[in-house]
Chain A
């Protein structure tokens, strides 16, 4: 059973339909990717999950029962638009935000000391926020988000504002949280990181969920029976031998290697058949099936409805 579930959510602002019949299921201890172009409705959904706004209709189930106000303590949220009080001291501010999440002052200080040391920003405790670099502010915000050991973490574009070194640090922290059994909803435009850390995804476009499920299945869905082959030296007569069952998309020769990309047009042909038919052509050094990246899938899906809209 899903740990966290959104069922048939509708939300309309004045004239704008933000969410239409959106449902997602998040398994306990998994990382769920919430994808979609800008303005698709991701933030609206996240705000509903955080009880910042209420849906017009539909249900949000947390641990099998409808989400309640007090569940807010069990959720940690790192919004995309995030900031801190500039004039307040870092430590004081972190304690304040932790207290708002229901931690006692003493607990908050104890935990914060630990995390500040871990993230190497202990020396900044008594500095004002405006003296910190953007990256450091982001670290403080991340710490505050996870400090109260939430069971559900929601990250909205967590990597924005981080340099690659700190982005890696953050990624390993996110994975560590996952290892602890925390369920994570992860919203981003960074498809590479989605492939790296998400197990399931939902893609929202123009207020509707257009794609969803385990990432491997989604990819399989978008598999186009394409293969990439690399031969040593140049190849002759390939066009002739492959003409009937394959379609050659790309054929380039560079640095004494020939790269071929082809598509299988006859569904009855297996990978073994394909290999057998290309082996006589020359010395094969690499062979792989082309699996679409999430990036490709994203672009493909998001661009499609624009033509469908005219139907």
Chain B
């Protein structure tokens, strides 16, 4: 084995047998699986714990035309837990929600009586719609605990629509016209490719993939870059460094360390992917009876702001199939080889670039506490990449996104965010080319600093000093 191979092997082996590696390997997938399963599981819990809300409606708004058989059959009232005269209860539903169930009390019941009923029952809240509601839209919601924000938002949204309808009717607009004017808007987004072919677009998921890719790269660069730095400092403070560089060249040692740690990172990433997938599959089989839901749940929750998840358990099976088909279509719509290949490229390129800088920093100091002044200029571009996240996601082809995906210090993060939205081939090629050039340049630069730095002890190093080291021959 070549010497650099021996170094890589040591750097790799000493790290993967560490407890911290094992712990990270286990915790990572649990967290990720939790993120995937969590929303679906919580949604399921939510469904079971739908809130019951009593309503005293002094207007006719909701009884007039909302009341029909469909709603009646949907009604679920916990009669045994509510003590009041059932003859006075009429059964209506507000425009429904799976999380809220409305139980209409008789109009004649006073608000005081209503409160009493609320307190003696297991209902969550009491909604009071006063008779002048249409003219002066102020509702009162009494609850035993602080009312959940979602409820008020929901009520405001729905009731605003009802009032509008009422007002339109008052102006003499035909209810049929209102009914036909009502529109549930859905936008089906499509991408027209250069050859004229249409492709379904899934902007929400595209966004998620972009953000996830960028964040992962950021996280990996930081985590493994600083491991390289700590490794260099360790060798320096141990004083083993001179023993080693009397056998191998400093540059070989530096590259051996950087490559060894990169392999640790790739191993961890691979283990995470495999373990996450296994955990998700196993857990979904145990806790959520329909495994198909699981793979689709997290994506749909992001797509529709959570409501889809909530409804899913009630979706008839043909709908589930349709949904699965949608997901399949989505999966096939993404250019996975490109995304994954680019991820690997930018992960490695970005890591190699930064790891070289981290190694140089490690060589210039005597202890980790002294790294601060040099860390700042290295971490600023990384953090900038993350700060730009929103701008880039909102406008992936904008000037900001373009330049940040070209500059090699930020391109690994920003380009990964842009990539799922589609990036012209030349831009990708230029960005990758620049990254390779920058990697070579920074490695060369770091090698010069490293070479001198590792043998320098007890000296407070500043930038002027570093510049001198670079010019040594």
Contacts and interface: CB of A to CB of B under 8 A. Distances in A.
Contact of A84 (B240, B248, B457): B240
A127 interface: no
Interface string B252-266: 000000000000000
A79 B246 contact: yes
A98 to B, nearest CB: 9
A113 interface: no
Interface residues of A, number: 28
Contacts, number: 61
Contacts of B249: 69
A72 B10 contact: no
A85 B243 contact: no
A101 B2 CA distance: 11
Interface of A is mostly: loop
A85 B6 contact: no
B6 A100 contact: yes
Contacts of B235: 85
A65 interface: no
A144 B243 CA distance: 10
A281 interface: no
B394 interface: no
A51 B239 CA distance: 18
A100 B3 contact: yes
Contact of B7 (A69, A82, A100): A100
Contact of B242 (A14, A82, A96): A82
B10 A77 contact: no
B14 interface: yes
A99 B3 CA distance: 7
Contacts of B1: 99
Contact of A52 (B3, B14, B242, B472): B242
A196 interface: no
Interface in B423-473: 455, 457, 468, 472-473
A83 B247 CA distance: 15
A88 interface: yes
Given A72-B247, A97-B247, A99-B1, A88 B14 contact: yes
B47 interface: no
5 contacts: A52-B245, A87-B14, A96-B6, A100-B3, A100-B247
9 A-B pairs with least C-beta separation: A83-B239, A100-B247, A79-B242, A83-B238, A77-B246, A50-B246, A81-B239, A99-B6, A83-B240
Given A52-B246, A85-B238, A96-B10, 9 more contacts: A50-B246, A52-B250, A72-B247, A77-B243, A77-B246, A82-B243, A85-B235, A99-B1, A100-B6
